[in-house]
Structure 1
């Protein structure tokens, strides 16, 4: 991944500590170490953390331009999330894939695994580009 393309963390990203690991056309990956403050009342990672990561990687997957001077942004129109398992490892790995779309909207899918390979959650989403006519 070209380090010039890494955007500064947005506020929630900085607060939670997840980081961009890879970003290229139609793909993005973010990692998040599992730490106690991400837990729910059962002591496992809160589902909202998973949903936020899935939303983030899908949005980034559809917004790659390859030009740090021409950033693209999008907003989520809809997202369907499936919670499948709980993490067994100590790192969440979220991957997003742009699967189609047009000039104003795009479609994406995403998954979260942990560093043991456990599939934790999946999602699909529809996104609208911001600033496109």
Structure 2
């Protein structure tokens, strides 16, 4: 099973986000806000927000507690609500498992900055897959 000491995915490395907390039913990703993430208005692109929300929700349902039993997930449905503009220097996404069964599960997430500004929220439906 992956844990936060495992190397990040190539996509996570490219964008610069990292898993900073992961446990049963919960995941937290963080990333610095840099110029390379900006849209034409100079703020982080909405795709960055969606990526953090999707990634955190996806992994929130993959904790097994067993190093030999690895899980990944597929996103079946993703909804993102863009709420505010990040004011700080870092984005923080926290996701919680909200329900589901053996293979299909539901999660929700909030994306804030390091000053506590609510930037976006999301919900999703995911399918667990054993590695």
Scaled by the length of structure 1, the TM-score of the pair is 0.93
Report runs of 4+ in structure 1 exceeding 3 Å deviation.
none
Query: Which residue is equivalent to 2:52?
Result: 53
RMSD over aligned Cα, in angstroms? 1.3
Deviations for 1:21-47, whole angstroms, at most 9, x for unmatched residues? 100000000100000000000000000
Please say if residues 5 and 67 of structure 1, whose CA atoms lie closer than 8 Å, have aligned partners that are also in contact.
no
Q: Tell me, which stretches of 5 or more residues in structure 2 are unaligned? A: none
Following the alignment from structure 1 to structure 2, what is the Cα–Cα distance between the partners of residues 20 and 8? Answer: 10
Report the TM-score when normalising by structure 2: 0.94
Structure 1: where are the runs of 5+ without partners? Answer: none
Aligned to 1:87: 86
Q: In the alignment, is the contact (CA less than 8 A) between 1:110 and 1:123 conserved in 2?
A: yes
Paired with 1:95 and 1:69, the residues of 2 have a C-alpha distance of 26
Q: Secondary structure at the match of 2:78?
A: strand
Whether the 8 Å CA contact 1:107–1:124 is kept in 2: the answer is yes
Structure 1: how far apart are the matches of 2:105 and 2:119? 24
1:71 to partner: Cα distance: 1.4
